[in-house]
Structure formats: structure tokens, C-alpha cells
Structure 1
Amino acid sequence: MSLTDRRGSFVTDGIARPTLLLVHGAWHGAWCWEKLTAVLHTDGWRVRAIDLPSAGGRAGMQDDAQAVLAELELIDGPAVVVAHSYGGIPVTQAVAKAGNVSRIIYLASFQLDVGDSLLGFYGAPVPPQPDEFEAVPDNPVALFYGDVPLPEAEAAVQRLLPQSTRSFSDALTEAGWHTVPSTYIICEDDQALPANSQQAMAERSGAVHRIESSHSPFLSKPTELAALLSKIALDTDA
């Protein structure tokens, strides 16, 4: 049985659950969460996923953060935000202003601090033409979907979009993880964001978990990932 209590929490079988907001990474869209969302719904979760305007558009990171914040404002009750890859940057910015986020879950994600940007993380200069696009990387199957069945990986590649260059150069002005609890999930076989880089950022989180997967466990291991997200979202110390 599912219902909503007076605080807006989603209650399933007597357990009050926050809403899960899923935020994708660069070049992707809300579509990438479809397999995971189906498992989470079966497990009794209320889930929302958004499309960031920087994927396929000229929006910057701050625009993405505003989109995340606007989605959070539509959620009645507490929310746990799951941020993947680049999505961790606008989520970090947005959560600083949101009042209903109980936890951030960084999934192979950029957990950066004030003044940081994605390009800055790699020591790359600000591009002279920030209004351009970053093309989909070469060999995206190996980079993003190494343990995803090949037909499914190739279908995912067809849905990738050019990414706004500005989103990679915009720097954080606030960092929500300083005041909101955070958990990091390291993807150990990640070819896009190596595990050692994830580990360095994960030290900023209150708890760290690991999953043996490529950069995209929501496609390769949705059941395992759903179980881990459920554990974290319901455990105040996870």
C-alpha cells in the first residue's frame, strides 16, 4: 500500500520514503534512467528524472542548476538527489538553495567545491568560444557502456547529444554538500571517470559505496544499483 503522509513523504508498507530525483550527466538525457526507474517503481519508490538544458542546447551549468532547483520545488516533501557524472556539478549548486533535500548521492560524479568547474578539475583552460558545443566523445561504447550489452549500448549512443561547452567552464558559486549529507558511489570499472579520481572526490562525502560496473550502472546493473540506492536513501548513516 502506498500513500502520502502529512509531511509529503511517500509511504510504502509503513515506510516513509523521500522522492528520488535522478539527474543525468553530459551528452545524456532523462532517458538513460528508464531501466533503473522501472526497477525503483517496482520497489515502491516515487521517482522523477529531468532533462538538463545543456545537453543539446547552449545552456550553462547555472542554467542546469536552475532546472534542478525548479524540479525540486515541484516535489512535495523530502527528496534524495542522485547525480551522475557531470550532473553532480549543477546538483551541487542547486542543493545549496533547496530546502527539501535530505541527501545527495553522487554516482561516479563530480563532487566539486566552490570555484571549481569541470574543465578546472582537469586543469584545462576556459575555451575562447564558450558558446560552442562539445561533440560526443570518440568510442562512447567503450567510454560509457563497457559492460552494457552491445545492442543496448549502441542504441544508447544514438540518443546522445552535443553538450554545451559553457556547462563545462561555468564554476560553482555554492556547494550544497557542505550542509546536506552526501554519499558517493564509485563505479570501479569506469573508463570515463577513473575510480582513483572518483575516490579523491568521494572523500568529501560522509559515506562511500562501490559497485563493479562501467560508467553507466543504470543500464548495466539496474537491479543492483536500485538496491544500493534504496539502502542509502533509507539509512541516515549510509
Structure 2
Amino acid sequence: MPATVVYVHGAFISDSAWWWSYVAEILSKSDIQSRTVDLPSCGPEGPLGNLSDDAKAVAAVVDEISGPVILVGHSYGGAVISGAAVGKQNVEHLVFISAVVPDGTSVADCGFIPADDIPELDIRDDGTVGEGEQRFKSRVLESLPSPDMTEEAVQRLTRQSLASFTDPPVGEAWRNVPSSFIICEFDADVPVAAQRAHAERTGAAHQVPTNHFAHLERPDLVAQVIVDIVDKLPVAP
């Protein structure tokens, strides 16, 4: 039975299918199906879900798939897939793209968010947080291959619940499930040193010459990592 990739987006993201569409198109040529999840922690205003709600939303999609699943988490999404995969026998591999590989600490405390950035975030009374005046997500997106892609990406940024960043891990499935890490070599969002530290918790590390959004900047390289993983999955009797 062919594998299905379930993609879990990072922080402050809406319309997950758009962010994954470039990789999904390439994967389809290798008969690899793709699914996306819009996380309940992300939206225009509160109240929004927390990390546990996000993990449950992804786990529900995994339950709908009868064959093997590869969970791909980008940035914050790494914490989500680590919880969603717990107890899911059909999850064969976890792929972290510049992503949190949780080891007992919250996303806020895992080394991905520089301490100097926290006071600059736009925190509101409805329990949500946004990128604020520093526009740290929007600025990173300016490095995408074309102005049109940047414009489309920025239009799909949204707010997120503060709780999703401060909650403790809801699972650390990477300890039991085979996993890989894609390091974004020129990442202006997540420090490369932090990525390398998290990558050491996984079974294999791959480096790509991109900024934070490798799946938009070089979807071919991200897809190739996934295709290679699929090709090595055990064949069901």
C-alpha cells in the first residue's frame, strides 16, 4: 500500500495546503499521496486551540489513513507531530524541517526563539500572539523565489495561541519512531545551531541551502528526502 505524507505547518500559518502544494505536486509524480492539516491553534483571533489540540487534530487525520504514514513537521509543527504519532502504529517515519524535536521543554524554551524576540511579539488579551511590528516571519518570507510567492505567503500568515508555545510537550514519539531532520542552512528564523542540536535527536540529518521555508524555496530537495524515505519503507507482506 502506498505511503501517505501528512504535512504539519509551523507557527502563524493558515491554508496549510498552499504551503505544501509545491512539494505535494512533486511527490504525486512518485505516487506518494499528501494530506495537510490546518492546526486549531492558528487563526485570526482567540480563543484558539493549544498544543494538545493540534496534536489531536493531526492524530485524527492519521486515523483516517489505512496505510503507512510519514508525518512531516515544519518548525513549530515538529512539536505537534511528536505528540500526534504516539501510539499510532501506521506512522513509519517523522520528518522535521527546521523543526522542534521536543525533549521535555516547551517550544518557547527549546532554543528556537531568541530571548530578545519575545518582548517584541504582539500578545493580545484574547490569548493569541502575532509577529508584531518586527515582522520576523514576513521578513524571512522576502527571500522566497519570487515577489508573487512572497505576497501569497504573507497573506496566509495569521495569529496563534500563546498556550501552544508555552505548553509542555504532549509526546516525544521521535524516541520510538524512525526520524530525520532537514537543516535549513541559511535559516534567518531558527538559529542553525539550535537546528543542529535538535537534529542530533533524530536518526538522520540532511542539509539544504535554503532559508526557513525550504518547502517553498527548494521543494525539489525536500521532496527528494521524502521519496528516499518512502523507498526504504518495509514492504508489507
- Asked if Structure 1 and Structure 2 have the same fold, meaning a TM-score greater than 0.5 normalized by the shorter chain, the answer is yes
CA distance in 2, matches of 1:205, 1:54: 26
Q: TM-score, normalised by structure 2?
A: 0.85
State how many pairs are aligned. 220
Provide, for residues 67-95 of structure 1, a one-character-per-residue CA deviation record: whole Å limited to 9, x for no partner: 01001000111111111000000111111
Q: Quote the sequence identity (%).
A: 33
Displacement of 1:33 = 0.6
Q: Could you say what the CA RMSD is over the residues aligned between the two structures, in angstroms?
A: 2.3
Among 132, 147, 152, the alignment partner of 2:127 is 132
Alignment of 1:87-166 (within 5 A): 87-113=77-103, 115-122=104-111, 132-137=127-132, 138-166=135-163
Displacement of 1:217 = 1.5
Establish whether residue 220 from structure 1 lines up as the match of residue 207 from structure 2.
no
Establish whether residue 202 from structure 1 lines up as the match of residue 189 from structure 2.
no
User: Mean alpha-carbon deviation: is it higher for 133-142 or for 213-222?
Assistant: 133-142
Cα 1:118–1:44 shift into 2, 3 Å: same
Alignment of 1:15-26 (within 5 A): 18-26=3-11
Q: TM-score, normalised by structure 1?
A: 0.85
Q: 1:118 aligns to what SS in structure 2? A: coil
User: Mean alpha-carbon deviation: is it higher for 199-208 or for 116-125?
Assistant: 116-125
Q: 1:91 aligns to what SS in structure 2? A: helix
Where in structure 1 do 4 or more consecutive aligned residues deviate above 3 Å?
122-125, 128-131
CA distance in 2, matches of 1:37, 1:94: 21
User: Mean alpha-carbon deviation: is it higher for 63-72 or for 49-58?
Assistant: 49-58
Among 43, 60, 67, the alignment partner of 1:70 is 60
Provide, for residues 88-110 of structure 1, a one-character-per-residue CA deviation record: whole Å limited to 9, x for no partner: 00111111132210110001100
Name structure 2 gaps, 5 residues minimum: none
CA distance in 2, matches of 1:197, 1:59: 26
Give yes or no for contact 2:130–2:160 (8 Å, CA) kept in 1.
Answer: yes
